[in-house]
Amino acid sequence: MGKPTPKVEVMKYLKSRHYTDAKDFSGECESVVMIAKGQSVQGTCKYGTRVDYILSSSDSPYKFVSGSYLVLSSKGTSDHHIVKVDVVKVNSNPQENLTKKQRQPRQKVVRIKSSSSKCIWKTNTGDIDH
């Protein structure tokens, strides 16, 4: 079977329709996740190629947070790595963005008891306006 050849037609089409690729907002790389030869971004599968994407349309009220894109290793759980990026809602009126007070996200601690390796997970939860 071997390493599949990446297909670029779909991404070229979406870029021509002005979709934004979250990889352009990358932060630090996780050293476990490799970058395949000839690519400028971490791979999202076992071959080191990028097959998982997060895209946003140009008219979306949500924008990617600079430096938040990350590919995390999922070794042992999946043949694809975890792709993550933070988003924020941007108001259509630029003046509202300046005058609206930013709320601090609430912190939530989740204790997992049913796992053989007990952990405490800390997450940031913020309200999403609909």
For 14-70, the pLDDT digits (tens) are 889 999 988 888 776 654 455 545 555 566 666 666 677 788 999 999 999 988 888
Please tell me the predicted confidence (pLDDT) of residue 129. 45
The DSSP 8-state label assigned to residue 66 in this structure reads T
Please tell me the predicted confidence (pLDDT) of residue 47. 60
Q: How many helices (H) and strands (E) does the chain have?
A: 2, 8
Please tell me the predicted confidence (pLDDT) of residue 62. 94
Higher pLDDT, 91 or 1: 91
The residues, any chain, with a CB within 8 Å of residue 79's CB and separated by 6 or more, are 45, 46
* Residues 51, 39, 86, 98, Cα dihedral to 10°: -130
What is the C-alpha separation between 37 and 31, in angstroms, rounded?
15
Q: What are the CA-CA distances from residue 85 to residues 44, 67, 88 (Å)?
A: 14, 9, 10
Segment 110-115 shows an average pLDDT of 62
Q: What are the CA-CA distances from residue 13 to residues 4, 8, 20 (Å)?
A: 20, 9, 12
What is the C-alpha separation between 90 and 60, in angstroms, rounded?
9
Higher pLDDT, 36 or 107: 107
Q: What is the pTM of this model?
A: 0.55
Which pLDDT tens digit goes with each residue over 78-95?
Answer: 777 778 889 999 876 666
Please tell me the predicted confidence (pLDDT) of residue 49. 66
